[in-house]
């Protein structure tokens, strides 16, 4: 599993440029899926099984894209100004390294700050790719990059640049590999452009038209010094979402997930996230409405160049998803 996590997290595919990660995931699932296709927005949709008595059409959504940066201006000295693709936190950028889609590496720095007590704003930051002037800068306006960080295995803890949401994709891939039988018709949907507005989930949910849905995504934790006041912590199991900044999970789905976790003796946490949301928000309001919930993998330092998860949480997320899919509701 860790090799798969490293492969997915070290792949560069910011929002709107998911072709590379899509091909990596396709190769991982092509032998287990009954049918695979891409829709118009590039969502990778894999169907497994068909409905039997008491079965439902279930959609699972994990987004393939990662946050990134897009060049907006190159000055006369070859320095690159940029905007964010997704939720970029300027405080986490200075000194960070990036890699453009053509392989060009760069480092992020900022204008000189007159007040060192303040962090730079996004418009004060720039990327240096080693160019001496605008003409020899290999980057053009509109080119995109992502954070450049290697995967780190710390035993029970793992760190990578794009756990959000490649770790959710890993959970879905491993569940697809592990699942033996199911009464349900299951659509494993690896979505695009989640970080810029849940766009892939919006179109794929309309196309799949599921009976119920689960997103598989990360959530923040409250277990760091003076961190957010929330109950989720690394190592205490997958989080079952009750609410986030964009949706209320369907209580029937929440109760189903809790019953399943308790029956299978899988540790779990209840999640209330005050900001942020997932693909479930878009799926919930597709067509005439879809009862939706979310399995959340606890993650420290979300939307930073180094995001941390616990190996045991990932393994238990896979177990929970397989248990949910293996039996009638």
Angstrom distance (rounded) from CA 141 to CA 309: 34
Q: Is 315 a catalytic residue?
A: no
- For the beta sheet containing 44-48, the strands, ordered from the edge strand earlier in sequence to the opposite edge, are 35-38, 44-48, 185-191, 57-63, 212-219, 292-298, 239-243, 269-272
DSSP letter, residue 90: G
265 three-state secondary structure: coil
Q: What's the farthest any 2 CA atoms get from each other in the chain? A: 68
CA 60 from chain center: how many Å? 13
Q: Tokens 């452009």 map to which residue? A: 193
- Facing residues of 295 across strands? 216, 240
At residue 132, what are phi and psi to the nearest 5 degrees?
-100, -15
Angstrom distance (rounded) from CA 164 to CA 255: 25
Which one from 66, 194, 271, 307 is the annotated catalytic residue?
A: 194
Give the residue numbers annotated as catalytic, written as ranges.
Answer: 194
């Amino acid at each position: 599993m860790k090799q798969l996590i490293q492969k997915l997290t070290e792949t560069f595919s910011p929002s709107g440029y998911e072709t590379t990660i899509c091909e990596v995931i396709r190769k991982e699932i092509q032998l287990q899926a009954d049918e695979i296709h891409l829709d118009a927005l590039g969502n990778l949709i894999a169907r497994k099984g068909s409905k039997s008595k008491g079965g439902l059409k279930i959609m699972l959504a994990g987004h393939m894209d990662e946050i990134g940066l897009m060049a907006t201006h190159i000055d006369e000295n070859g320095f690159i100004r940029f905007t964010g693709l997704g939720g970029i936190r300027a405080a986490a950028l200075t000194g960070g390294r990036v890699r453009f889609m053509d392989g060009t590496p760069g480092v992020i720095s900022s204008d000189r700050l007159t007040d060192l007590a303040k962090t730079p704003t996004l418009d004060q930051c720039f990327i240096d790719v080693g160019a001496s002037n605008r003409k020899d800068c290999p980057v053009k306006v509109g080119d995109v990059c992502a954070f450049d960080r290697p995967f780190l295995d710390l035993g029970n803890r793992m760190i990578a640049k794009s756990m959000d949401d490649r770790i959710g994709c890993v959970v879905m891939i491993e569940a697809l590999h592990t699942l033996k039988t199911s009464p349900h018709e299951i659509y494993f949907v690896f979505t695009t452009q989640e970080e810029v507005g849940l766009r892939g989930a919006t179109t794929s949910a309309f196309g799949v038209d599921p009976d119920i849905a689960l997103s598989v995504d990360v959530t923040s934790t409250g277990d760091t010094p003076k961190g957010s006041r929330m109950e989720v912590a690394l190592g205490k199991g997958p989080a079952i979402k009750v609410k986030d900044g964009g949706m209320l999970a369907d209580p029937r789905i929440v109760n189903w997930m809790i019953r399943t976790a308790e029956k299978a003796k899988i540790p779990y946490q209840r999640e209330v996230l005050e900001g942020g949301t997932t693909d479930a928000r878009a799926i919930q309001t597709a067509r005439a409405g879809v009862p939706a919930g979310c399995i959340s993998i606890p993650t420290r330092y979300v939307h930073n160049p180094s995001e941390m998860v616990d190996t045991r949480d990932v393994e238990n997320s896979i177990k929970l998803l397989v248990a949910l899919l293996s039996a009638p509701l």
